[in-house]
Amino acid sequence: MIHSLFLINSSGDIFLEKHWKSVVSRSVCDYFFEAQERATEAENVPPVIPTPHHYLLSVYRHKIFFVAVIQTEVPPLFVIEFLHRVVDTFQDYFGVCSEPVIKDNVVVVYEVLEEMLDNGFPLATESNILKELIKPPTILRTVVNTITGSTNVGDQLPTGQLSVVPWRRTGVKYTNNEAYFDVIEEIDAIIDKSGSTITAEIQGVIDACVKLTGMPDLTLSFMNPRLLDDVSFHPCVRFKRWESERILSFIPPDGNFRLLSYHVSAQNLVAIPVYVKHNISFRDSSSLGRFEITVGPKQTMGKTIEGVTVLSQMPRGVLNMSLIPSQGTHTFDPVTKMLSWDVGKINPQKLPSLKGTMSLQAGASKPDENPTINLQFKIQQLAISGLKVNRLDMYGEKYKPFKGIKYMTKAGKFQVRT
């Protein structure tokens, strides 16, 4: 199982190590550094690196490499999933997951890691349970602890640990009982030069924030559950009910959690809400190139597209760009050749555009590759797949909760080739 964990920052310093079995020397990370050097960018470091005696499995998040060391045959996905869980837990505990924050809370981090794994076997990874074992630091608690000498380690066995609903603690009490659900859909798409869709798929999730007293038993039904044919559930969802009735029935964890994620890939169901008109041309003779893009709404069901950002990695040969946006602000970094244009809202009457010229290296031939445009946007109050929640009912408790549902569509990996 998982032997050790090293946290490494982007400049290659090991700033935390934890061993669950015997101590593995830091020098094992040299193999990782080698791989890191070979990969030009941090993102490209391969996630599985063999060394003569160990295997290094790593994930890269928040500019930190989480490198797990294993010695025997262990499912790599198991390890990688766990590492992501570690990152999520840190984020949950400290708000952000960064080197200074981890260093500031090193003892809590150590205690948490010790609770998460035993001998390399996962022990408690549900944040509900972890927080009962090790209380997350808050300013108030730190102050209180210093004065009263109490600790941030719980001395009770977390109640959820062994019950049939391990994800929920007992004895939850709220004065305002509320349950919020966010339906968030991300569109991943590749659009080709001519504007036709090559691939498009929707990655949807339903994130919940449930603060309900006692042991509520919820059911959530959809207007159009047939949309969901490829779903992954939180362990709390009763799979049998879903299979037979297409209803989500569950006892929720306390607080924030991801109830379900789903995937819609049938091409005809994926509406593309924006289009990009582009004219990017280099000429062989001249050292100037023309650049012009316009963004416009397509199938938005009457909703406004906001938070639009255009990102494009320009070819190496481009020295500089002089552009004028009709709205928003733009920057071009001549070193990384990254063009970014913060557009904001799209007004269908007056479409935003960015026009101008690119100056190329004098005498160089025109670049071989065309820049790909990466688009980010948000649409409030719309789930682009058309998914709609029908109703939410609660059983098992007497009070009347406050319920809320929000929809949002975002761009995931939305790429337009030029």
Partner 1 sequence: MTDSKYFTTTKKGEIFELKAELNSDKKEKKKEAVKKVIASMTVGKDVSALFPDVVNCMQTDNLELKKLVYLYLMNYAKSQPDMAIMAVNTFVKDCEDPNPLIRALAVRTMGCIRVDKITEYLCEPLRKCLKDEDPYVRKTAAVCVAKLHDINAQLVEDQGFLDTLKDLISDSNPMVVANAVAALSEIAESHPSSNLLDLNPQSINKLLTALNECTEWGQIFILDCLANYTPKDDREAQSICERVTPRLSHANSAVVLSAVKVLMKFMEMLSKDLDYYGTLLKKLAPPLVTLLSAEPELQYVALRNINLIVQKRPEILKHEMKVFFVKYNDPIYVKLEKLDIMIRLASQANIAQVLAELKEYATEVDVDFVRKAVRAIGRCAIKVEQSAERCVSTLLDLIQTKVNYVVQEAIVVIKDIFRKYPNKYESVIATLCENLDSLDEPEARAAMIWIVGEYAERIDNADELLESFLEGFHDESTQVQLQLLTAIVKLFLKKPTETQELVQQVLSLATQDSDNPDLRDRGYIYWRLLSTDPVAAKEVVLAEKPLISEETDLIEPTLLDELICYIGTLASVYHKPPSAFVEGGRGVVHKSLPPRTASNESTESPETAPAGAPTGEQPDVIPTQGDLLGDLLNLDLGPPVSGPPLATSSVQMGAVDLLGGGLDSLMGDEPEGIGDTNFGAPPPAAPARVGAPIGSGLSDLFDLTSGVGTLSGSYVAPKTVWLPAMKAKGLEISGTFTRQVGSISMDLQLTNKALQVMTDFAIQFNRNSFGLAPAAPLQVHAPLSPNQTVEISLPLNTVGSVMKMDPLNNLQVAVKNNIDIFYFSTLYPLHILFVEDGKMDRQMFLATWKDIPNENEAQFQIRDCSLNAEAVSTKLQSSNIFTIAKRNVEGQDMLYQSLKLTNGIWVLAELRIQPGNPSFMLSLKCRAPEVSQHVYQAYETILKN
Residue with tokens 């101008």: 356
| C-alpha–C-alpha distance, residues 374 and 360, integer Å | 22
Sheet holding 274-282, edge to edge: 274-282, 288-297, 353-360, 318-325
Determine, following the binding rule CB under 8 A, whether residue 151 of this chain makes contact with partner 1: yes
Rounded least distance, CB 239 to partner 1, Å: 5
Site for partner 1 in 15-54 (CB under 8 A): 15-23, 26, 39, 43-44, 46-48, 50, 53
Rounded least distance, CB 299 to partner 1, Å: 20
Determine, following the binding rule CB under 8 A, whether residue 195 of this chain makes contact with partner 1: no
| C-alpha–C-alpha distance, residues 72 and 67, integer Å | 16
**CB closer to partner 1, 157 vs 288:** 157
Rounded least distance, CB 326 to partner 1, Å: 26
Determine, following the binding rule CB under 8 A, whether residue 261 of this chain makes contact with partner 1: yes
CB under 8 Å to 339, separation ≥6 — which residues?
A: 310, 311, 312, 313, 314, 321, 330, 331, 332, 333, 371
Q: What does DSSP say about strands 274-282 and 178-191: parallel, antiparallel, or unpaired?
A: unpaired
Find the part of the chain contacting partner 1 (CB under 8 A) among 69-77, 289-297, 299-307, 401-409: 69-77
Determine, following the binding rule CB under 8 A, whether residue 110 of this chain makes contact with partner 1: yes
- Out of 91, 207, 234, 342, the only residue in the binding site for partner 1 (CB under 8 A) is 234
Query: Count of residues binding partner 1 (CB under 8 A)?
Result: 101
Determine, following the binding rule CB under 8 A, whether residue 96 of this chain makes contact with partner 1: no
**CB closer to partner 1, 17 vs 92:** 17
Number of helices followed by number of strands (H, E) in the chain: 7, 23
Taking only Cα atoms into account, the Rg of the chain, rounded to an integer number of angstroms, comes to 25
Rounded least distance, CB 199 to partner 1, Å: 4
Find the part of the chain contacting partner 1 (CB under 8 A) among 139-147, 206-214, 300-308, 356-364: 139-147
- Out of 111, 182, 207, 397, the only residue in the binding site for partner 1 (CB under 8 A) is 111
**CB closer to partner 1, 24 vs 346:** 24
Give the count of beta carbons closer than 10 Å to the beta carbon of residue 156.
7
**CB closer to partner 1, 219 vs 304:** 219
The closest alpha carbon to 274, from 167, 193, 378, belongs to 378
- Out of 11, 73, 173, 400, the only residue in the binding site for partner 1 (CB under 8 A) is 73
Site for partner 1 in 315-354 (CB under 8 A): 315-316
CB 211 within 8 A of CB 254: yes
- Out of 103, 246, 277, 298, the only residue in the binding site for partner 1 (CB under 8 A) is 103
Q: What does DSSP say about strands 318-325 and 329-333: parallel, antiparallel, or unpaired?
A: unpaired
Determine, following the binding rule CB under 8 A, whether residue 244 of this chain makes contact with partner 1: no
Rounded least distance, CB 269 to partner 1, Å: 14
Q: What angle do CA 273, 276, 281 make, to 5 degrees?
A: 165
Q: What does DSSP say about strands 178-191 and 402-417: parallel, antiparallel, or unpaired?
A: parallel
CB 70 within 8 A of CB 42: no
| C-alpha–C-alpha distance, residues 160 and 200, integer Å | 41
**CB closer to partner 1, 221 vs 374:** 374
Site for partner 1 in 162-181 (CB under 8 A): 162, 164, 166
Find the part of the chain contacting partner 1 (CB under 8 A) among 146-154, 270-278, 279-287, 397-405: 146-154
Which tokens go with 10? Answer: 């982007």
